[in-house]
Chains A and B, each alone.
Chain A
Amino acid sequence: MNGGVNGVALAVFIFFFVAVTVMGFLAARWRAAENANNLDEWGLGGRSFGTWITWFLLGGDLYTAYTFVAVPAAIYATGAAGFFAVPYTILVYPLIFTFLPRLWSVSHKHGYVTTSDFVRGRFGSKGLSLAVAITGILATMPYIALQLVGIQAVLDVMGVGGGENTNWFIKDLPLLIAFGVLAAYTYSSGLRAPALIAFVKDTLIYIVIAVAIIYIPIKLGGFDDIFSAANDKFTKAGAGGLAPPAEGQWAYGTLALGSALALFMYPHSITATLSSRSREVIRRNTTILPLYSLMLGLLALLGFMAIAAGVTVENGQLAIPQLFEDMFPDWFAGVAFAAIGIGALVPAAIMSIAAANLFTRNIYKDFLRPNATPEEETKVSKLVSLLVKVGALIFVLGMDKTVAINFQLLGGIWILQTFPALVGGLFTRWFHRWALLAGWAVGMVYGTWKAYDTPSGTQKHFGNTADVPGIGEIGYIGLTAIVLNVVVTVVLTLILRAVKAPDGVDETSAADYKADSGDPGVQTDLPPATAGAPGGH
């Protein structure tokens, strides 16, 4: 940014980066089972994680580097409207509390690794399961790309992003190194690597937030001054403000609700959930995870601080790294950058594992090689986790950054369309498999078309809020699409039931949804203490 390389900050950054890399490789030995060559081990950490590890893993997973960069960036650019991330992460926990324990139970009873596994077992439909798998992979790739964008923002501010006229290879070399390291330890250690690194990441982030939220306001003269500076900026620009205007309230509420519904449908949140030891662990976690939401709220306020501190950047994503660079002493800026950088690695690893699980179980095994052995499944999953990351890298290097952000918005709209099959399926078998597939297709097409058709800020396409037909308010496109999806599903189910269209075979029973660890038939997952004992799977 300011031309020179910030040597001290860079040294601190590299120190932490090397430390977590070593941890990532050592993670393979952590709580290892005797036989590491099956997908439960590599892809779900042996399904043995307790309350605290799950807390760090889910926290590290749901609150990504991109969240830490993008949420304050949104506040910096638009004011109050960007704060919807807080009610969104408040609403997500009552939802997880209600839905995911049922998914945990049925998955452990039948050995499901992905949501598509469940949908196939529940509705007896490979087509529907394929739709869910493809949606999951599509929605995850740009999400991984955005993690790399987060790392790039930090590298840029430290001055190692390279200038405009440097060779592209030199310019992107630091990112390529970070990426290579990530790929290597995910490959060798699986889900254990991000679980272990999440401890470091969260500790660093909590320290940085605690310091930032006390130190920066003191330097800037208190919250009164910060908010009045922000108010001046928004009044002058005539855009945004300190509280959303009446006509923006629908958009605010629907974005919060729609994002909350989408978040726990993402393959990576499901992966982290299924890797926990029991359904109790999940419920207990919903009572302690809100600590992250509080942190997110404080982080969001940094966006206003960046305004008050006079940070001016063209690319809004750089606002917070630049604020840290301007405000903190060099060494602490390095700690903050390391927090963001490592914060990108943890979710990127989990996301690529989740996408790889989906591909292996629901495309490779279901359609290409039905007789694949567990060893083969694990091998394919590891390779695909590499491919997915390369795909994300191409996103970041090859395309304009706004493209990745647009696809991520689309990803949210897409993943929401699997809601009726997944959550509907957890509670009832009434929906017909063909109706669900048709509803999904309608929601996908409407959401994609509507988003493409909606201008967003400075761009012609890919807005995330538009007119809700028949209500006359502006709302989140994803939520409108899901309502449409549900209407189509219900109407078609009524018709298909009336003409007695054949139902798929349901391999689950009502009791499966309430089973807990210790109940007969529940695959209790090789707890680490007994991993050496005979009788793994």
Chain B
Amino acid sequence: MTPTRVVAALCLIAPFVGMLWVGSYGKVEPTLIGIPFFYWYQMLWVPISAVLTSVAYILVRREQRERKGGDSA
């Protein structure tokens, strides 16, 4: 496990912690433009998880290219 791989793994695990801990967001207040917290919080996680996956993707790809010794194309 290289440090890069650890960071990538954390990025992939984070959404599970966020989404499966339902108690942390199972409430109505505070609302956002009239939408209860429960809904906008989970929808906020969509872009967050997309960014986290992108970070993991970039890290993994960079490491793979380095391992191949720069014959990336």
Chain A residues near B (Cβ < 8 Å): 80, 83, 86-87, 90-91, 93-94, 97-98, 222-227, 242-246, 249-250, 252-253, 256-257, 280, 283-284, 286-288, 290-291, 293-294, 297-298, 301
Contact = CB atoms under 8 A, between A and B. Distances in A.
Contact of A242 (B38, B49, B52, B54): B38
A234 to B, nearest CB: 12
Interface string B27-63: 1100101111111001101110110111011001100
B39 to A, nearest CB: 7
A94 B38 CA distance: 22
B43 to A, nearest CB: 4
Contacts of A90: 15, 19, 42, 45-46, 49
Given A90-B15, A287-B54, A243 B49 contact: no
Residue with the highest number of chain A CB atoms closer than 10 Å, among B31, B33, B43: B43
A251 to B, nearest CB: 9
A249 B57 contact: no
Contact of A246 (B26, B34, B45, B46): B26
Nearest to B27: A243
A249 B23 CA distance: 7
Contacts of B37: 243
B16 to A, nearest CB: 6
A287 B39 contact: no
A245 B31 CA distance: 18
Contact of B26 (A227, A243, A283, A287): A243
B34 to A, nearest CB: 3
Contacts of A293: 46
A222 B31 CA distance: 13
A283 B38 contact: no
A227 B34 contact: yes
Nearest to A297: B43
**How big is the B interface, by class?**
20 to 34
Contact of A294 (B31, B47, B54, B56): B47
A223 B35 contact: yes
B13 to A, nearest CB: 8
Given A90-B46, A93-B49, A226-B34, A287 B23 contact: no
A286 B8 CA distance: 14
A290 to B, nearest CB: 4
A98 B42 CA distance: 22
Nearest to A80: B38
Contacts of A294: 43, 46-47
Contacts of A283: 57, 60-61
B22 A253 contact: yes
Interface of B: 12-13, 15-16, 19-23, 26-28, 31, 33-39, 42-43, 45-47, 49-50, 52-54, 56-57, 60-61
Nearest to A101: B60
Contact of B34 (A83, A223, A250, A280): A223
Contacts of B49: 90, 93-94, 290
Chain A: interface secondary structure? helix
A86 B39 CA distance: 9
A210 to B, nearest CB: 15
Given A93-B49, A94-B53, A253-B20, A222 B34 contact: yes
Given A249-B23, A290-B50, A97 B57 contact: yes
Contacts of A242: 28, 36, 38
A290 B36 contact: no
Contacts of B46: 86, 90, 290, 293-294, 297
Nearest to A75: B39
Contacts of B57: 97, 283-284, 286-287
B19 A94 contact: no
A293 B39 CA distance: 13
B35 A97 contact: no
Contacts of B50: 93, 287-288, 290-291
30 contacts: A80-B38, A86-B42, A87-B20, A87-B42, A90-B15, A90-B45, A90-B46, A90-B49, A94-B15, A94-B16, A222-B34, A223-B34, A242-B28, A242-B38, A243-B26, A245-B26, A246-B23, A253-B22, A256-B20, A257-B16, A257-B20, A286-B53, A286-B57, A287-B54, A287-B57, A288-B50, A290-B50, A297-B39, A298-B43, A301-B35
Given A94-B12, A253-B21, A291-B50, 12 more contacts: A91-B15, A94-B13, A94-B52, A94-B56, A223-B34, A223-B35, A244-B38, A245-B26, A250-B22, A257-B16, A290-B53, A297-B43
A227 B12 contact: no
Given A94-B49, A223-B33, A246-B26, A86 B38 contact: no
B53 A93 contact: yes
- The 4 nearest A-B residue pairs measured at CB: A223-B34, A224-B34, A87-B19, A249-B22
Contacts of B33: 222-223
A328 B69 CA distance: 58
A234 B18 CA distance: 27
Contacts of A256: 19-20
Contacts of A253: 19-22
A80 B27 CA distance: 10
